[in-house]
């Protein structure tokens, strides 16, 4: 689950991570009143969407008068903001964050993500604050400091010293402030079951203080039951409607840009299926994991969600029958075609318990648009061929 910048900063405040003062607004008039309440003579008007790169897309602008705050808020609210993370379809801006100006001396990057290979949270820092971290990683990987923190010992002084030395922070007071901030961010990460925290930029002011000028956070959906306060921050208008509907039926669905719909059980097999489709010259239209208990209802709902995408020209069903027998899955697929109008070729590869019986059931049904595959490679090739023929 993702949250907005202003919500991330509310959480930052609970852990002592300093940010500029700001107030959320839904109308240009409210934005102007917020500027009045904040005081000062410089404000930043920030679009609030679940995506990075807002500044480059025209969603973050500086205002030097309350009238300009109102004017910029009017321009940004209701705009379809396109960034490198939204895709070409962009996102509708429904609220803006009015924030006081800051005295910026330097810009840094600070973030925490889970490194699944190391099985530990990794703190990343860089002197290239304000830049896209992906671009920095590609062009100047030596400028990114990565420090894995073993949860068994937690954030220690040596972690902090490695960070400040790597960033070239030499002033003792500034070193102490930065280490305290990094420690607080790590505590926040663990205590809230976060998946990712990113501050870009983290600024240093003329007084040597560090402020989170931006904030981006995502959380483990499976842990939200422990964090009702974070669950309450969910903005469903920012989430893909099909992904949200799929989750209500226990399906893990992510929309992609290709032409071949994928229905698979197990995240690892789903990733392997998409890779094989790409290898065979096709493009997957989605990631869809139906879990370990595929039945007629879940398969039918999967078909329904996949076929909402007008680009889909074929569907590849790749199921491994371990706990669930393949013959039951085959009957479930046939029943699902009665529940949902499946108007594209469906290539089915079933392996595991009773796979032979399942193949016979599908062939005996004699449904023209259901094509039985022998293995993963054969199924992917047939799916790509069917999509191209369509």
CA–CA gap between residue 17 and residue 105 (Å, rounded): 18
Among residues 15, 21, 1, 19, which one has the least CA distance to residue 185?
15
Q: How many helices (H) and strands (E) does the chain have?
A: 13, 18
Provide the β-strand partners of residue 218. Answer: 2, 196
Active-site residue (options: 5, 128, 195, 198): 198
Asked if residues 196 and 113 have their Cβ atoms less than 8 Å apart, the reply is: yes
CA–CA gap between residue 346 and residue 364 (Å, rounded): 15
Asked if residues 126 and 107 have their Cβ atoms less than 8 Å apart, the reply is: no
For residue 46, say whether it is annotated as part of any ligand binding site. Answer: yes
For residue 99, say whether it is annotated as part of any ligand binding site. Answer: yes
For residue 52, say whether it is annotated as part of any ligand binding site. Answer: no
- Look up residue 257 and give its two tokens: 């840009």
Among residues 73, 84, 209, 207, which one has the least CA distance to residue 138?
84
For residue 226, say whether it is annotated as part of any ligand binding site. Answer: no
Asked if residues 38 and 23 have their Cβ atoms less than 8 Å apart, the reply is: yes
Query: Max CA-CA distance within the chain?
Result: 78
For residue 323, say whether it is annotated as part of any ligand binding site. Answer: yes
335 is catalytic: no
For residue 322, say whether it is annotated as part of any ligand binding site. Answer: yes
For residue 54, say whether it is annotated as part of any ligand binding site. Answer: yes
For residue 55, say whether it is annotated as part of any ligand binding site. Answer: yes
360 is catalytic: no
For residue 200, say whether it is annotated as part of any ligand binding site. Answer: yes
Among residues 379, 378, 330, which one has the least CA distance to residue 354?
330
Q: Is 133 helix (H, G, I), strand (E, B) or coil?
A: helix
* Residue 310 DSSP one-character state: T
Asked if residues 5 and 48 have their Cβ atoms less than 8 Å apart, the reply is: yes
- Look up residue 157 and give its two tokens: 């002084």
CA distances from 43 to 37, 80, 98, 123 (A): 11, 22, 7, 31
**3-state secondary structure string across 232-263:** CCCCHHHCCHHHHHHHHCCCEEEECCCCEEEE
Active-site residue (options: 97, 109, 186, 253): 109
Q: List, in sequence order, every beta strand (DSSP E) within 182-300.
A: 194-205, 210-212, 216-219, 252-255, 260-264, 286-289
Annotated binding-site residue numbers for substrate: 265, 322-324
* Residues belonging to the active site: 109, 198
Annotated binding-site residue numbers: 46, 53-55, 99, 102, 107, 200, 214, 265, 322-324
Annotated binding-site residue numbers for ATP: 46, 53-55, 99, 102, 107
Annotated binding-site residue numbers for Mg(2+): 200, 214
């Amino acid at each position: 689950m993702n949250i907005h910048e202003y919500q991330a900063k509310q959480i930052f405040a609970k852990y002592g991570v300093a940010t500029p003062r700001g107030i959320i607004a839904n109308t240009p008039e409210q934005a102007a009143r917020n500027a009045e309440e904040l005081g000062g003579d410089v404000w930043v008007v920030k679009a609030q969407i679940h995506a990075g790169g807002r500044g480059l897309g025209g969603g973050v602008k500086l205002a030097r008068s309350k009238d300009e705050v109102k004017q910029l808020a009017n321009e940004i609210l209701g705009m379809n903001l396109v960034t490198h993370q939204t895709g070409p379809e962009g996102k509708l801006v429904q609220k803006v964050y009015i924030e006081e100006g800051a005295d910026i001396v330097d810009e840094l990057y600070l973030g925490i993500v889970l490194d699944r290979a190391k099985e530990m949270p990794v703190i990343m820092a860089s002197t290239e604050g304000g830049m896209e971290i992906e671009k920095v990683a590609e062009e100047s990987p030596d400028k990114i400091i990565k420090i894995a923190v073993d949860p068994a010992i937690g954030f220690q002084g040596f972690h902090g010293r490695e960070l400040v030395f790597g960033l070239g922070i030499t002033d003792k007071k500034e070193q102490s402030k930065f280490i305290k901030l990094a420690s607080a961010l790590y505590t926040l990460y663990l205590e809230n079951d976060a998946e990712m925290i990113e501050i870009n930029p983290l600024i240093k002011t003329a007084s040597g203080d560090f402020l989170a000028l931006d904030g981006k956070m995502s959380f483990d959906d499976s842990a939200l039951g422990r964090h009702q306060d974070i669950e309450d921050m969910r903005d469903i208008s920012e989430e893909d409607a099909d992904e949200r509907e799929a989750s209500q039926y226990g399906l893990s669905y992510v929309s992609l840009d290709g032409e071949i719909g994928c229905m698979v059980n197990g995240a690892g097999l789903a990733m392997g299926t998409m890779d094989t489709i790409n290898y065979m010259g096709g493009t997957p239209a989605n990631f869809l994991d139906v879990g370990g208990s595929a039945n007629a209802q879940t398969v039918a709902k999967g078909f329904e969600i996949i076929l909402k995408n007008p680009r889909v020209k074929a569907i590849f069903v790749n199921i491994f029958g371990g706990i669930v027998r393949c013959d039951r899955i085959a009957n479930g697929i046939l029943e699902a075609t009665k529940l949902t109008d499946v108007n594209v070729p469906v290539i089915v590869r079933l392996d595991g318990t009773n796979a032979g019986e399942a193949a016979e059931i599908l062939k005996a049904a004699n449904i023209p648009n259901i094509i039985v595959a022998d293995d993963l490679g054969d199924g992917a090739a047939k799916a790509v061929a069917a999509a191209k023929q369509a």
